[in-house]
Structure formats: structure tokens, C-alpha cells
Amino acid sequence: MSRYVLVAPDKFKGSATAADVAAHLAAGLRAGGVLALELPVADGGDGTLDAALAAGFRRVPVCATGPTGLPVHTAVAVRGGVAVVELASVSGLVLLPDGPDPLHATSRGTGELLRAALDAGATRIVLGVGGSACTDGGTGMLAALGARFLDAHGVELPDGGGALADLHDVDLSGLDPRVAETEIVLASDVDNPLVDAPAGYGPQKGATPADIALLERGLARLADLIDPAAARLPGAGAAGGVGFAALAVLGARMRPGIEVVLDAVGFADALAGAALVVTGEGRLDAQTLHGKAPAGVAAAARAAGVGVVAVCGVCELDDAQLAAAGFAAAYALTQWCPDEHRCMAEPGPLLEEVGRMLAGTSLVGTALI
């Protein structure tokens, strides 16, 4: 097979899915006479499920409990014995209909998705935990898998991190036994311990200083009853403590989100036939350089000796930062259309124009020789 340009972007948040971005860029490249292979990616947050489905995973629909208790229609992605579960699709901040609810938002739906993955025959589960609405220490997730969290009278606590200050006992005897036989990979770039979760991420979930103090007491109580040492592990604070529950109770191991997703979607195999990689996201900025998808794609491609260019809506990185991250060049849609709002509202034609332009550059021409 002739070599091709591998198009592996993340989503343009609030504008286009990763699959849409890849499709438009690839269409532009093909219009310029260049072979292109689409492989949307994600970093473990929202978009992870879509990336797995675009890579050939089978969609298994699930109706699960949303962060406020209302039902959410979502899915898990399954291929062979591997399943991909995206917390954001069921316990995500974007699913709060009336705004943040830091004391009551629950991770219960994430546990229901894990159970659905087990029901589908998964023996390895990738759990992407970015974009959570909850700070419940993963108790909702564990409750959906059979755990019980009791007050001093033996009554089960209501969902949400605000109730954990009254936690008296944890009963894990009813935990789904299939968990012990399943490899669970926590896809996360958060390296905070559990105690840092409320103060570090609570404000973006709507937590007031008083809420943060209450959540900290509850999570400290949870850690004391389950595994104080695990609470101090890097990543235990991911997704409001879902990381702690996964590491301490489910036996998960943590890996950087983008690395896990690249493995799951078969990036290495696709890279083997690539002459050049095109990646990107809506905004290239300082956060991009710390575990976001484009930086992970660039690192993997560079390690394989394949050049990488980035396409984005807006670029806030200078040439030195781009070069240090492994990008040969970066192209922002605002170079073609200075109106950022229009770039977000109508990215498709602009992305195709960028693709056609790339097809005619020496970066593509030289790579394909």
C-alpha cells in the first residue's frame, strides 16, 4: 500500500468532534491528491468513546444514571475482550442540566458502564476519567458494582460527596466478583492525591469554600476506611476521587490518558504506514504541552521518526514551544478567518481548505517521495 498522511486530531471543543475534524482535513488532503487515513484520538476525557468507535469498536448502548440521578443514554465501546468506558459520557460536568451540584453529583453511572462492559465479556477495561462532575471519591461507581457505604445506624448513604462526612462503614463484600478477574486501566493525566481533589478541582464543579471543606472531610473519612496509603497515590484525586476508588478497590493501574487511547485505537499500526501525521485540537496552548492529545500524538510519532504538523482553531504557542513539542508546523483556522466565532461555528470548510493547502506543501510532498 502507498504511504499516506495519518490524520489523528482530538476534538475542537465546542465546535467539532474529532471524527468530524479528521474527516474534513482528510477530504482536503484527498482533494489535493494525497492519500489520507483518518484516526480520531482523545486523551481520556470526553471524546474517548467516539475515538474508540471510529477505530472500529462496537457500540453497546447503555442507559445509566447521570450525575444528578436522571437517566443518560450513552454506550461503552467493545472490541474482542477490550472495552472503553468514558466517565464524561455519563458522569460528566456537561450533563448537569441545572448547573454544578458539587455535593450531590454522583459517579454511579460510571459503575453502571463498567458493569455493562463486564456483561459484554470484557476482560480489559480502559476507564477514561476526564471531565467529571462529581467529587464523591468514586463511591457511586463502587455502589453500582455492589459496594455499600453506611452511616452509624447501618443505613446506606445517599449519593454524592457531601454525604461522606457521615460515613461510618464500608462494605465491599458484595462487589462484583468479575472485577477481580478484569484488568482495569485508569486513563488519566491527573497526578493529585485524593485529598487535593476538592480544592484542586472543586471550584470548577461549583464548590464553595464551605463545600470544599465538607468534601475534604468526607474523602478523608473514606480514605481512612478503605486504604489511607492508596489515597496518597498520584492519580487518586482524578475525577473527584474516582481515581482512588479505581486504584484502591478495583485494582486499576494508571497510565497517561493519551497513551492508553493511542494503544486502544491502534495508533502504532496506523503510524507504520504514515509518511506524515496531522493532529490538533481547538486551541493549542500551554495545557496542550502537559498530556493533551496532540502532544501525545507528536511524541509517539517523533519516537517512530515520523513528522507531525498540528491544525487548530487558535494557536497560542510560539515557534520554539511547537518545535520542542515535536511539531514541524502549526496551522490555525484563524489564519484563514480572523473571526474566531465563525471558526468555531463553521470549521468544516476551513479545515478542508487547510487540508488542501497541506497537500501542496513541501512537508507533505517530501514525506511522500
Q: Could you read off the pLDDT tens digit of each residue along the chain, which spans 369 residues?
A: 568 999 999 999 989 999 999 999 999 999 999 999 999 999 999 999 999 999 999 999 999 999 999 999 999 999 999 999 999 999 999 999 888 899 999 999 999 999 999 999 999 999 999 999 999 999 999 999 999 999 999 999 999 999 999 999 999 999 999 999 999 999 998 889 999 999 999 999 999 999 999 999 999 999 999 999 999 999 999 999 999 999 999 999 999 999 999 999 999 999 999 999 999 999 999 989 888 999 999 999 999 999 999 999 999 999 999 999 999 999 999 999 899 899 999 999 999 999 999 999 877 766 554
Q: What pLDDT score does 367 carry?
A: 58
Task: Round the CA-based radius of gyration of the chain to a whole number and report it.
Answer: 21
Judgement on whether residues 73 and 34 belong to the same structural domain of the protein:
no
pTM: 0.92
Is the residue at 267 inside a domain? no
Task: State the cell numbers at 309.
Answer: 504538523
- 222-259 pLDDT, tens digit per residue, is 999 999 999 999 999 999 999 999 999 999 999 999 99
- What 8-state DSSP symbol labels residue 175? S
Q: Which of 207, 235, 258 finishes a domain?
A: 258
Q: What pLDDT score does 364 carry?
A: 72
Judgement on whether residues 149 and 98 belong to the same structural domain of the protein:
yes
Q: Which of 258, 292, 319 finishes a domain?
A: 258
Judgement on whether residues 191 and 210 belong to the same structural domain of the protein:
yes
Judgement on whether residues 226 and 308 belong to the same structural domain of the protein:
no
- Output b/e per residue, 270-284; b: 16+ Cβ within 10 A: bbeebbbbbbbbbbb
- 46-88 pLDDT, tens digit per residue, is 999 999 999 999 999 999 999 999 999 999 999 999 999 999 9
Query: By residue range, what is the domain housing residue 80?
Result: 48-258
Residues 6+ apart with CB under 8 A from 317: 284, 285, 286, 288, 289, 325, 330
Task: Note whether 70 and 126 are within 8 A (CB).
Answer: no
CA of 46: how far to CAs of 42, 86, 87, 250, 273, in Å? Answer: 8, 7, 8, 22, 28
How remote is the C-alpha of 210 from its chain's centroid? 29
> What's the CA gap between 130 and 19, in Å, rounded?
19
Is the residue at 243 inside a domain? yes
Is the residue at 362 inside a domain? yes
Judgement on whether residues 174 and 144 belong to the same structural domain of the protein:
yes
Judgement on whether residues 82 and 154 belong to the same structural domain of the protein:
yes
Judgement on whether residues 200 and 291 belong to the same structural domain of the protein:
no
CATH code, domain with 178: 3.90.1510.10
Q: Which of 228, 258, 288 finishes a domain?
A: 258
- 5-30 pLDDT, tens digit per residue, is 999 999 999 899 999 999 999 999 99
Judgement on whether residues 34 and 101 belong to the same structural domain of the protein:
no
Judgement on whether residues 24 and 59 belong to the same structural domain of the protein:
no
Task: State the cell numbers at 46.
Answer: 470526553
Q: What pLDDT score does 188 carry?
A: 93
Is the residue at 266 inside a domain? no
> What's the CA gap between 92 and 110, in Å, rounded?
10
> What's the CA gap between 72 and 59, in Å, rounded?
15
Domain tally for the chain?
Answer: 2
Judgement on whether residues 21 and 55 belong to the same structural domain of the protein:
no
Is the residue at 263 inside a domain? no
Task: Note whether 193 and 233 are within 8 A (CB).
Answer: yes
Judgement on whether residues 16 and 53 belong to the same structural domain of the protein:
no
CATH code, domain with 350: 3.40.50.10350
- Which 3 state secondary structure label does DSSP give 126? strand
Is the residue at 360 inside a domain? yes
Judgement on whether residues 243 and 124 belong to the same structural domain of the protein:
yes
Instruction: Indicate the burial class of 218 (C-beta count within 10 angstroms; 0-12, 13-18, 19 or more).
Output: buried
Q: What pLDDT score does 291 carry?
A: 80
Is the residue at 265 inside a domain? no
Q: What pLDDT score does 189 carry?
A: 87
- Which 3 state secondary structure label does DSSP give 84? strand
Q: What pLDDT score does 365 carry?
A: 62
Instruction: Indicate the burial class of 155 (C-beta count within 10 angstroms; 0-12, 13-18, 19 or more).
Output: exposed
Bridging pattern class, strands 36-38 and 4-7: parallel
